[in-house]
Every structure is written in C-alpha cells, then in structure tokens.
Structure 1
Amino acid sequence: MTMTLSGIITVLKDAGLFKELIVAGKWHDRAPEELANRTVLDLSYDSRTVKEGTLFFCKGLKFDPKYLTMAANQGASVAMAPADYSAQLKTSEHPDLPQVIVTDIQKAMATVSRAFFGYPDRNLTVIGYTGTKGKTTSVYFTRHVMAKALGKVVAQLSSIDECLDGETFIPAHLTTPESLDLFRMMKEAVDNQMKYLVMEVSSQSYKKSRVFGLPLDIGVFLNISPDHISPVEHPSFEDYLACKSEIIDNCRILVVNRECSQYDYLAEKAHDLGKQVISFGSDQSAADYQYRLGEHGYFTVTTANPALPKLDGDFRVMMPGDFNVANALAALTVAAQVAPVSEDFRAGLAETTVPGRMEFIKDKQGVVACVDYAHNYLSLTASFNFMKHEFKDGRLIVVIGAAGGKAESRRKDIGRALSQYADVAILTSEDNFFEDPHQIAADIKENIDNPDLEVIVNVDRKAAIEQAYAMAKPGDALFMAAKGRETFMHEKGKDVPYQGDYQITKQLMEK
C-alpha cells in the first residue's frame, strides 16, 4: 500500500478538498517535479506512531503544531493540515516536508485513507445501522444470522467489539472508528477473505466525517428520540436528525422502522433520492415485514409486501425484552436481502448473545441480576418494564449513573425512568470525564418525583454494586445500567481500569 504525493493531490482535487501545497514557504497547485513521486508508506494522525514515509494528518479542533514537529522529526514524508503551519514547523529544520492544505481535514483524511487502502468497501457488501438505541444488538443479530447462512465471511464493527476474520473478536473503543482506522480495518477484512461487513454508524460518525465517502449497500434506520443533545454532541434535535439521516444519502437500500417517529420524513427523503425503501415493524403497522409478539422471546413474522423475499414463520430471541424483537426483525429483513431465506435464519437468531446486553445471573438464594448497556429513557424504560413483568414478587434495585460532560438532558430522563419503575435507585459513577460524580447524581436525583423510591448515592461504582447485592432479598431483581462488560471508566481524560459490571456481579453471586 503506497501512494505518491502527486496521487494524493489528485484524489483530493477530485473530491474538491484540495487548497494548495506548501513547500519551504512556497505555494503550489501541484507537486513540484522533484517531489511528485515522493512515496507515502503509511498513514497516521498520532505523532507517536509516525515512522519513515508516513503521511501525518494534523487533525483536531485544537491541534497543537508541536505534534507536527514531532511527526517531522520521526520521519513523516508528507503533512496534511487545514492551515499553514510553516512558522511553527521551523521550515529551516524541515525544508522539504510538503504540507498539503485542505478545506476539511476530517473529510480529507477519509478520502485519502479510502484510496490508500485500495477502496476496500468495493470488495465488501457493507451494511450500516443507525438509531438512538439498538444499533449494537441489531449488528450482533445480523452478523449471527448471516454467518449461519453464509459461513465465516461476515465481519463486524460495533461499539463493543470488532471481528475482521469471521471468528475473532477484539474490544472496540468508538461506536464508529476514525476514518483512517475504519478503512484500515476494512482492508484487513478483505485480506481475510470477508465478503460482508455489518457495522454501527453513529450520528457523530457523520457529523465528524468518520464515514465520509463510504457507500453502504444497505443502511438501516432503527429509531430516533431526543438524546445526545449537548454542546459537545448535537446542539439540537434537528442537528441530531440531520446527521443520522445522512445514512440515506449514502446507502443504496434503506431499511427503516415503520414505527419510527420520523418515518414519513425518512421515507420521503429516500424516495426523493431514488433509494429503495423496505420497512419493518409490528403487526399494528403498515410495514413490509411485520412481527407479532409471543411470549418469552417468541414472535411470528409475516411478509406483507409480495415483491420482497418471503420471510414468514416463527422465530425466537434469547435476549428478553419486546424491544429486542424489533431489532431482530431488522436483522432478518437485512439478511433476507443478501442471502436465501432458510432455517439458518431461525437458528442464527436464537444463538445470538451480546456481551453485556440483558445478561442474567442468579444466585442460590433466588436473587436475579441483569447487566445491560441501557443508558437513555427508551432503553431504560423498556428494560425496567420487562424486569417488573418477569420479577413481580420482589423489588427492582437499580445501579445507575450518567456520563459527564455530555447529553445532560439524559439525567432528567433517567430520573423519570427510575420514578416510573424502580423501588431502589443507587446513583453512582458511569463515565464522569471531568465532572464531579456527586453533581451528576444530584442532577438525576432532582428529577426523581416518586416519594416511595429509595434513593442512595454511592459514587464508587464497584461499592454501589456490592451495596445493591447486600441489600437484595430472595425474589428481588438487580439492574446494573450502562457499563455492561466494559473494563474501563473515563475519568479526567484517562481510561481508568474497572473490573466491569458483569464481572463484579458474577463474582458476588457465585460466592
């Protein structure tokens, strides 16, 4: 994998992203003859990983030019930046380091990365999921069903983990990776003979151009509700919806929840762009594929649109909660468009488990604990409702917090959900970032209006889980929200090691 300076400039010009090339203080519209064939051997946006022949991207809202100097000292052969850093770079020390100046560094990084790694998306059927909730679960459902039907040729990118060879999973760090990492991983998947990629596509990935230029064969829009509204994420619901709906611009087929609150807008936009629209939903909707709920995870699917592959029959998900049935039907709908419908669909769905998603543990005394990543009103109320239905005879004890520095409106929603369903709420740390966890807990508590709800504040998350288990009696149900199996906590700019909700709970209950 190599590119020349001249080739990089051509790719950027074709995308309308090139401004000028600066070499030793002089501006150029093309690479000078002596630099045109300068070869780039690697790409990086982290100065610590730069080596000889690397193209270094100067990205970030508050990019510090000292990192460019570090990259130059370590052998960077080309720099790409949104502005001229000649003065800070000390061109006398690096006179022949060309700076490619671009209109948008994030889009430029995506464009060049895609080209550098050989347009790997062209060798994959790419399926992208967006939605306020359910992305991860739906990705797991889809990968399991498709892998059962098609074999070990399905790669996965999710907020929990990544699979690039059809069978090995490694932990993930972002819902959607940075574009450079994304295209690098896609190239690895292609090299591993993968034929399909199922991935989460967050609103931030469009807002920050992490998936800029990436075409999707199928884009799936699960749902949307007011969330991620904050100064550092989306300033308004309109901005949130606009970013999420970019999936329509970039997909060939749109699979959409017929009962999504913005269905009419999404379908209208897709039709106006000439995209095929396939809908899924309950039997109370006018969806192309409809589900009818049974009990204990069973549901029946009916194909209402005869022009589509027939997907009729009885299915089951092993993760409890009615909300998972809609996610499962989204996965079945996608799979039916790329693989022949068979018994493998049913088996693949029933075998699906998601680490940290509605995982149950029961001790010898009859106390039940559930660990889940639920963190907003929709997912919490759906989970709490299921827990109250399944475990009627005891109390629902919830261990929960909220992320610091973002989506502050979520704290009100958490308080509201707790007021409706919980018997005991232990307010603790989630990912505090730079906020005081006591203040986050106070914000949640301020929005709890159920006088019968017992509220406890314990910002040490492990101690909070231990406290919840210590107070539980036979018949009670514990619910640990938001962290699942994550083994880190975001604290003051660092990832602090954390044992994990599931791991702590399992250890307590198996003593």
Structure 2
Amino acid sequence: MLTVKQTVAALKERGLFKEIIVDGQWLYDVPEKIADLEFKQLSYDSRAIEPQTLFICKGQRFNPQYLVDAVKKGATACLTQQVYDEELAGQTVWQLVVTDVQKAMATVARSFYGDPEKELTLVGFTGTKGKTTSVYFTRHILAHVFDNQVAQLSSIAECLDGKNFIESHLTTPESLDLYRMMRQAVDNGMKYLVMEVSSQAYKKSRVDGLHFDIGVFLNISRDHISPVEHPSFDDYLWCKSQLVKNADKVIINREIPYFELLAQKTRAFGNQLITYGSDQSDADYRFTLGEHGHFQVASFNDQLPAVAGDFRVMLPGSFNCSNATAALAVAAQLSDKTSEFAAGLLETKVPGRMEILKNEKGYVACVDYAHNYLSMSESFKFLKHEYPDGRLIVVTGSVGSKAESRRQDIGRALSEYADVAILTEDDNYFEDPKKIIQAIRDHIVDPHVEVHEILNREEAIKTAFQMARPGDVMFMAAKGREQFLRENGHDKPYVGDYQLTEQLMKAYN
C-alpha cells in the first residue's frame, strides 16, 4: 500500500508532479486530511476496481467514461495528465495531475510494490529478432546454475516461480504489471529475472527508471516503423539504444550495423562494454558454426570470465547459435559454473520457434513466429539448405494497424526464397486483412512465386497440406502456438498454427 503523501512525494522526486485537485482546490501540497490515507490498489482497467484504488488514466485512446466508471466502483483518486473537472463534477475524487502519465505510472508502481527490482538481478534483451529465443536460452542456463531461482518475461510466456509458465500478451508488460510481476517473483523466491525489452517499452515508458545489471543488444534492422509505433528508423534505433544507457554491463553483437554508435553510447554512460560474434569478428566471445546445431565458443579477452567448449542447441539456424552465444556471455558474467552451461542450452525448447513436424508419408512443416525480413530470410535459408529438393510453401500474413513496413519486407523474403506463397490473415487489429494481403502481394516481385490468397488462416494451412508433396517443406509464419487472432479490439479464438499442423500431420499420415 501507499499513502497519498508518499505517492505525491515519489512523483515530485521524479519531477513529474503538477498539482493535486481536492474538493475543487488546486494545490501543490497534499492536504493533511488526506495525506495518510492509503491506496490499496493501482489499476488502469476500469473493470478491475476496488475501494481505495488509484485509477490511472492512460492511453492514446483513453475515454473519460472509463474514469467515471472507475469512480462508481470505488476509485478514490486518479492519476492523470489531463484535468477532468467536468467529468468529475459533484464527485469527491482527488486528481493527481502529472506531466507524463506513463512515467508517473512507472514511478508510482515501483513505490507501491516496494522496489522489487532491487531484490533481483535483472537481465534485459533487445533486438529486432531473437529476443524471445535468447531469453529462453539464458533462463535455461541460469536455471541449471541457480536451482530454478530464475523468472522470465517474454512475448510468449511469463514464469514468476521458476517452473510454471503462463501466456503473455505484450513483449514487455505495462510498468504497473511489470512491477507487480517482479514483486510476485521476489515473493516466490526468485533471485534473477531475464526479460525482453522492446522498443515500445522505452517509447511508452514501460521500463522508465528501471536499471539492468546486464543489457544485451542482439541486432537491428528496419521494422516497427508506422504511424502508431515509430515514425522513423532513427526513432526506432534511439528507443532500442536506451538499453545501453540503462545497464551496468552491455553485451553487443559485434557484427551488427550501428555497432560503433551503440559502443560509443555504452562507454559515454560509463557502462562496461562486452562483445560477442562469429569467428570472423574481433569480439570478446566468438562462436564457430558446426552442423545440426553444434557450435564452439572461445574467449578472447583475458579481462572477462572465460567461456570455451562445444555446445549444441536444438533450434536450427546460425542465428540461434549467435543468440546462444549471447546467452552464454550473460551466464559467464553471473556464474563460474561453466560446465553446466551446455546442459541448459541443450534442453532449451521455445514454443512456436522453428518447431519441425514430420510424418511417415514424408510431409514436413515448420512452425515459427517469424514476422519480418530478418527472421523469415534466416529461417528460409535454413529450410532450403535442409530440404534442397522440394518446394518451400509459405503460409503468412502480416499484423494490422502497425508495422506497415513489414509487408514490403515479407514480400521481399517471399520473392527471394519461396516457391509457393499462401497469403492469409494475421492479427488484423482494426485493419482490413484484404488490404494487408494486397500490400504483401504487391512486393512479391519474382514472377516464379506461385501466390494464393486465402483469407481464413485455418483454410490457408489446410490448403498448404493439400498442395504439398513428399520432399516439400511448409512454413507457417508468425502465430506459432498462439490460440487467438486479434481483431477489432478482441481476441478471436483460433486453433493455433502448431496445433493445427500437428492435427494435419496425423490426418495425412
């Protein structure tokens, strides 16, 4: 719990507080009569209100009716960037007015949950692709070393007790949920938290004020550029680069574009720079690719903990060996039990990531969350190498209402690698899926690619099986094991790419 006085003090300390409105009076100091009254709950959801709740008015599409509803259910105050005198006329609700409600929410949540981040060793991963896989690799390694005292936050699943996983809905949770989860992890005995840090996490201040023990920058390419995400690549890169400012140790892929910029920023903020990369680089930790997920790692900096030996991951593709090397570099900074690292990597499975399914009739399919050029092209290259004699049949769409640049990138990847492209729905949000499909099709420039448009995703996957012949490989992109499609503000039930593919493998056996 948090008193009104403590709440305002935290906001003033961050320079976010403007005024408090009590009984129509605009004040800078909290009146004595309410100073010691407590908030027993924080909420930005007007459907989840209890008495003595501080309701947070956030979001670009915030409707003042949400505030009215929250007050009716017992909210005693609101945290807001805008004054709502008219909507609250006749009410005794206090308004805590701030300069930035997203940053204010993070500040208040941190205090409300008792600064849980101070009781955890925090590891954050950012990058255009590979965040989820790298988080899974790292959590599995550290779980071996630290007896499952490792929590996880990823775009696929959250784990707050070291053993049970629940489905996620955001790559990086809203700050209020993030601090609640961290408190829950601490109360469950967790000592470490490994998490994804998206560009939107910094854009929308979800991790405002949060400092990481280790931050990892995996890669960067043009993605998430749209009117509702990032207006330009410069903005996207700037948001992602905030991680190198907010981590004591920064581990960066030595071979990525803009490395020098990121390295200079890391040093400028007084943080330790550590690098990893292939054996063609001059990185501190270098990997050499073998076959079938095997790779070797060696250390080339005597000032850092050493990692050396043979390793294997059960996820195909050179990019996964690179991600695994990043995870090994993280683990080496936290533990000297390097002999246990290999076992953690080997047992790592990531739901919906390059999951290969086969049957006795020779049908082969791969289910993956790939949704941009970088992840698709790497996956396609691997499949073309593994199945050189068959066709590559790809079922894909693209997300609606954001990341419009992906449509061009997906078309480019299909042009370069696919033999058959079946274009279908994805998470459409508020956009017409036919428009999205057409945008992808417009950028498939290779006339040899056979293109089909099947709006219903389940029917599209079934069509892929109908078209496939032994030796071909089917690729189901973007949805993985998710059992919903986001449409018009709601989650529409969906069987799941993996689940449907598994059913069809049996049916065609």
Could you state the TM-score of these two structures normalised by the residue count of structure 1?
0.98
Cα deviation digits, residues 115-169 of structure 1 (max 9, x gap): 1000000000000000000000000000001101111100000000000000000
Gaps in structure 1 of 5+ consecutive residues: none
Matched, 1:502 2:498: yes
- 1:63 aligns to what? 62
- 1:28 aligns to what? 27
> How far is 1:379 from its partner?
0.6
- 2:320 aligns to what? 324
> How far is 1:434 from its partner?
1.9
- 2:199 aligns to what? 203
- 1:309 aligns to what? 305
Alignment of 1:430-441 (within 5 A): 430-441=426-437
Gaps in structure 2 of 5+ consecutive residues: none
Matched, 1:402 2:401: no
- 1:237 aligns to what? 233
Q: Which amino acid aligns with 2:397?
A: G
Q: Secondary structure at the match of 1:439?
A: helix
- 1:359 aligns to what? 355
- The CA distance in 2 between the partners of 1:439 and 1:34, in whole Å, is 57
Q: Secondary structure at the match of 1:213?
A: coil
Q: Which amino acid aligns with 2:42?
A: L
- The CA distance in 2 between the partners of 1:436 and 1:98, in whole Å, is 42
Q: Secondary structure at the match of 1:8?
A: helix
- 1:165 aligns to what? 161
- 2:280 aligns to what? 284
Cα deviation digits, residues 155-203 of structure 1 (max 9, x gap): 0000000000000000000000000000000000000000000000000
> How far is 1:77 from its partner?
2.0
Conserved 8 A contact 1:310-1:341:
no
Instruction: Tell which deviates more after alignment, 251-260 or 334-343.
Output: 334-343
Alignment of 1:67-146 (within 5 A): 67-90=66-89, 92=90, 94-95=91-92, 97-146=93-142
Alignment of 1:168-317 (within 5 A): 168-317=164-313
- The CA distance in 2 between the partners of 1:164 and 1:239, in whole Å, is 32
- 2:416 aligns to what? 420
- 2:471 aligns to what? 475
- The CA distance in 2 between the partners of 1:248 and 1:394, in whole Å, is 44
- The CA distance in 1 between the partners of 2:15 and 2:351, in whole Å, is 42
> How far is 1:341 from its partner?
3.3
> How far is 1:339 from its partner?
1.2
- The CA distance in 2 between the partners of 1:11 and 1:45, in whole Å, is 19
Conserved 8 A contact 1:290-1:301:
yes
Q: Which amino acid aligns with 2:363?
A: V
Conserved 8 A contact 1:311-1:341:
no
- The CA distance in 2 between the partners of 1:452 and 1:409, in whole Å, is 23
Instruction: Tell which deviates more after alignment, 357-366 or 75-84.
Output: 75-84
- The CA distance in 2 between the partners of 1:133 and 1:190, in whole Å, is 29
> How far is 1:404 from its partner?
1.2
Q: Which amino acid aligns with 2:115?
A: Y
- The CA distance in 2 between the partners of 1:74 and 1:80, in whole Å, is 16
Instruction: Tell which deviates more after alignment, 45-54 or 154-163.
Output: 45-54
Conserved 8 A contact 2:56-2:78:
yes
Which of these residues, 407, 410, 427, is aligned with residue 411 of structure 1? 407
Q: Secondary structure at the match of 1:345?
A: helix
Matched, 1:345 2:341: yes
Q: Secondary structure at the match of 2:155?
A: coil
Conserved 8 A contact 1:65-1:89:
no
Q: Which amino acid aligns with 1:318?
A: M
> How far is 1:342 from its partner?
2.4
Q: Which amino acid aligns with 1:380?
A: M
- The CA distance in 2 between the partners of 1:6 and 1:442, in whole Å, is 55
- 1:51 aligns to what? 50
Q: Which amino acid aligns with 2:127?
A: G
Conserved 8 A contact 2:198-2:240:
yes
- The CA distance in 2 between the partners of 1:100 and 1:117, in whole Å, is 19
- The CA distance in 2 between the partners of 1:242 and 1:342, in whole Å, is 34
Q: Which amino acid aligns with 1:77?
A: T
Aligned length, in residue pairs: 507
> How far is 1:364 from its partner?
1.5
Q: Secondary structure at the match of 2:33?
A: coil
- The CA distance in 2 between the partners of 1:55 and 1:76, in whole Å, is 6
> How far is 1:303 from its partner?
0.1
- The CA distance in 1 between the partners of 2:428 and 2:72, in whole Å, is 36
Alignment of 1:455-466 (within 5 A): 455-466=451-462
Identity %: 59
Q: Which amino acid aligns with 2:248?
A: R
Q: Which amino acid aligns with 2:221?
A: S
> How far is 1:413 from its partner?
1.1
Q: Which amino acid aligns with 1:22?
A: I
- 1:150 aligns to what? 146
Cα deviation digits, residues 238-293 of structure 1 (max 9, x gap): 00011001111211110110011011000001101110000000011110000011
- The CA distance in 2 between the partners of 1:28 and 1:453, in whole Å, is 67
> How far is 1:411 from its partner?
1.0
Instruction: Tell which deviates more after alignment, 7-16 or 446-455.
Output: 446-455
- The CA distance in 1 between the partners of 2:431 and 2:95, in whole Å, is 38
- The CA distance in 1 between the partners of 2:430 and 2:4, in whole Å, is 41
- The CA distance in 1 between the partners of 2:63 and 2:447, in whole Å, is 51
CA RMSD for the aligned pairs? 0.8
Q: Which amino acid aligns with 1:179?
A: S
> How far is 1:494 from its partner?
1.2
- The CA distance in 1 between the partners of 2:275 and 2:452, in whole Å, is 44
